[in-house]
Homo-oligomer: A and B are copies of this chain.
Amino acid sequence: MKNDDAWKGLGDFIRSQRELANLSLRQLAEVAKISNPYLSQVERGIYKPSADVLKSIANALHISAESMYAQAGLLDEETEATPGHGVENAVRLDPRLTTDQKETLIRIYRGFTDRPASRQINSLPEG
Contact = CB atoms under 8 A, between A and B. Distances in A.
Interface in A70-102: 70-72, 74-76, 78-81, 83-102
A109 interface: yes
Given A80-B95, A121-B21, A52 B48 contact: yes
Interface size class of A (residues with CB under 8 A): 35 or more
| Residue of A96, A105, A117 with highest tally of chain B CB at under 10 A | A96
B74 A83 contact: no
A67 B52 contact: no
Q: Which 10 A-B pairs have the closest CB atoms?
A: A51-B51, A83-B94, A90-B90, A86-B90, A67-B92, A87-B90, A101-B112, A83-B93, A96-B113, A51-B74
